[in-house]
Structure 1
Amino acid sequence: MAENVNIKNKRLEGLSAPTPQNTPATSAPIGSVARQPTVEKIDEEGASGNDKPDVSALAQNPAVLSMIQGKLNNLVGKSSGYIESLPASVRRRLLGVQGLQIDHQRLENEFQAEILALEKKYLQKYQPLYDRRAAIVNGKAEPAMEEIEKGNSAQQVVLEIPESTPDDTMKGIPEFWLTALKNNIILAELITVKDEEALKSLVDIRCQYFDKPGFKLDFEFKQNEFFSNDILTKTYFYQEEVGYGGDFVYSHAEGTHINWKEGKNLAVKVETKKQRNKNTNQTRTIKKTFPTDSFFNFFKPLQALESDDIDDELDEKLELDYQLGEDFKEKLIPRAVDWFTGAALAYEALDDEDDFDEDDVFEDEPDSDLEEIDEVESEEEGSGQVKQDPNECKQS
């Protein structure tokens, strides 16, 4: 199994999180004294410009970078011989210091366990506030005057407290969670136009802790036209022992199977093609289903490789998946109203780099006895929209 990685269980400073594939099992050995390389100097004046390697070109070559990374990985954990060369008395002292480090690791385990217990304790204290928020947002209750006055006092400009009117038939706060999600730059990247109609039925997002390290996110939906599930869940599991940095280490994630209603799967697109048999000249219509971008792919988490092989693309997706769970738990749920109003954006450190890859390209390989007719209809199931090939032949 690929090596797991430390992930802080509190707020993360950056927008990225380590994943089970980018941290070595052990640190490379370091000598006590740094020595200058003994390579003979090259007379640059006597070398022609064509003899110099193009370092920038090599750095941009994925094959070269991959080869270098592989060589470096092979060096991890290998001894330089320095430790073995130390006198026996020094090595005994070194073993004693390593024994102290084991005691330190035990205290780190206790420290993280107490932090987790404290988070659970305060989640129980937060929960009545979250329940009250859900009741107001979904139109099951109206805020008390005291709550309204507190909210007004938090504004930079004090507003006149509005009074309800008899013709005010709107219940709750429509599209509360959808708006909050779209105002979070990272989470908004998950949402496509076709997802929005389904997310309008999202009534609450909750977090739960376990007896063992880990947490679960519950997404509650009212009845909708897309799927029959009332609650969709995403569960993140930690390892029992904390990692090298003293923080909990993610083990894996699990998600709910979504019971899509017929023709409403937002996570796939359907292509309809016509094929003509070269021998019989008969035509037939076939449909092929392909994965597509959707917020609901969040509930189908990726799994780490069952080997030590490094897959950069998978590594980035796992990194994003772990970070999304933290963002829901640490940012969106506690301060949902600030994300709805956009006030949270003032405190959010944004990264200008684009962390998302372009869509995967799927290629079809038709049967050898069949030829494609220039007529392709692409339909994303839940959208109700059909996209036709611009090169489609018009038949009279």
Structure 2
Amino acid sequence: MGNLIKFIRKIFKKNYSAKQTPDIDEISGEFEPAYVETKLRRQYLQTMVDSLPISVQSKLVIMKNLQLEQLCVDKKFYDVVFEMEIDLNASSGEMYRKRRAIIEGTWQPPDTMPNYKVPDPLEPNAAAHFRETLAKFKSVPPQTKGIPDFWITVFRNTCIAEMVQEQDVPALRFLVDISIHYGKKKPSFMLKFHFAKNHFFKDSALTKTYFLKTGIDNRDPFSFEGPQITHCRGCEINWEPTMNLTTEVCEKKQRHRGDGDKRIIYETYLSDSFFNFFNPPLMKMHKDDDSEKHKILRADFKIAQYLRTRIIPKAVLYFTGDIVEANFVRDEDDTTDEDSDDEDENDYYEEYDFSDPTDESSVEPSM
């Protein structure tokens, strides 16, 4: 199985690196379109269809018309599924309320027996090693209110781990809940991060709203695969003085050009931080755009869906290790190619008006 996975990865890497294709004059009728760059592949296949007899082309037109009719059926299916997700989120409100109360210590539930199969004990040597490694948890008082470091531990068992920097940890210890809220006016969902009172920022909650396209685009109907995130909107964080985790102030010595005296100036730089999640690029997603900013947005959208569909509903299982996903371990054969060429920022995206998609009142709270 391991060799098969490596083989599949190499195949997809080969497909992904299709930009290194031969020149057009090297493409013959026997050439495999899968290894041709996307736009050129589309032109190649369209030219192939144009080269077929009219009778065959007519059959393909009928098949595409049938496919378009099927897309309308698919849209109804996805609309129903999305409505069910909203209903499910509302029905889960009681579970989310109790979970938050347990985490932040406002409810002390009675002791109870598990209704599930308890995991088998660890191998003795491993168990002894882990207990020694985790000795600090023995210092947690027996009557501790709530569950310390709940969301930090959840994040460290998921892809979110890569987003959390060392300086973020003290602030994220104040995170007590993440809730999902769905839009009433337009298809959208909001992720709301609830924090206990802390010395990092004045806000009790930080939000990130994602807007969805649920219709079929008449200009490109066959690209429809269900509701898709088109853009998102973060929130402003009201940092306490000197506590902004997304910036770093550095001292820099500078010599005065006139008298030659040295002076110290302070420059502010953006730094990596989990809290950059709430300040996404303001742009609208475009299909087949491979610019760096769009790659960031695509990754952001995947994280949002991951939070909405897996981490938030099943957080306790990530904390306890009942869910451990293996795809966060880097394969030693994996390599990352980074483009160093800088492009004009205006080439990355089309500015989008975020003033009207929905207002805060149009987002229905889940609890």
TM-score (norm 1): 0.63
Aligned length: 283
| Equivalent residue runs for 1:48-127 within 5 Å | 69=37, 73=39, 76-77=42-43, 79-80=46-47, 82-83=49-50, 86-87=53-54, 91-127=57-93
Q: Is the 8 A contact 1:136 1:172 kept in 2?
A: yes
| 2:160 corresponds to 1:191 | no
Give how far 1:316 is off: 3.4
| Equivalent residue runs for 1:255-294 within 5 Å | 255-294=234-273
Give how far 1:82 is off: 3.7
The RMSD of aligned alpha carbons is 3.3
| 2:188 corresponds to 1:209 | no
Corresponding residue SS for 1:270: strand
Q: Which residue of 1 aligns with 2:354?
A: none
Q: Distance in 1 between matches of 2:285 and 2:312?
A: 33
Tell which structure's C-alpha radius of gyration is larger. Answer: 1
Cα shift readout 1:3-57 (whole Å, capped 9, x = no counterpart): xxxxxxxxxxxxxxxxxxx9xxxxxxxxxxx9447xxxxxxxxxxxxxxxxxxxx
Q: Distance in 2 between matches of 1:194 and 1:308?
A: 35
Give how far 1:168 is off: 4.5
| Equivalent residue runs for 1:321-336 within 5 Å | 321-336=300-315
| 2:293 corresponds to 1:338 | no
Give how far 1:237 is off: 1.4
| Equivalent residue runs for 1:1-396 within 5 Å | 35-36=29-30, 69=37, 73=39, 76-77=42-43, 79-80=46-47, 82-83=49-50, 86-87=53-54, 91-145=57-111, 148-150=112-114, 153-156=116-119, 168-184=142-158, 186-211=159-184, 212-241=186-215, 244=223, 246-304=225-283, 310-345=289-324, 347-353=325-331
Q: Is the 8 A contact 1:256 1:299 kept in 2?
A: yes
Unpaired runs of 5+ in structure 2? 1-15, 17-27, 122-140, 217-221, 341-367
Give how far 1:177 is off: 1.1
User: Share of identical aligned residues, percent?
Assistant: 30
Q: Is the 8 A contact 2:231 2:285 kept in 1?
A: no
Q: Which residue of 1 aligns with 2:352?
A: none
Aligned amino acid, residue 96 of structure 1: I
Corresponding residue SS for 2:92: helix
Q: Is the 8 A contact 2:230 2:285 kept in 1?
A: no
Give how far 1:100 is off: 1.9
Could you say which structure has the greater relative contact order, defined with CA pairs below 8 angstroms and 6 or more residues apart? 1
Report the CA distance shift for 1:309/1:282 in structure 2 as closer, same or farther (over 3 A): farther
Q: Which has the higher helix share?
A: 2
Q: Is the 8 A contact 1:194 1:266 kept in 2?
A: yes
TM-score (norm 2): 0.68
Give how far 1:121 is off: 1.3
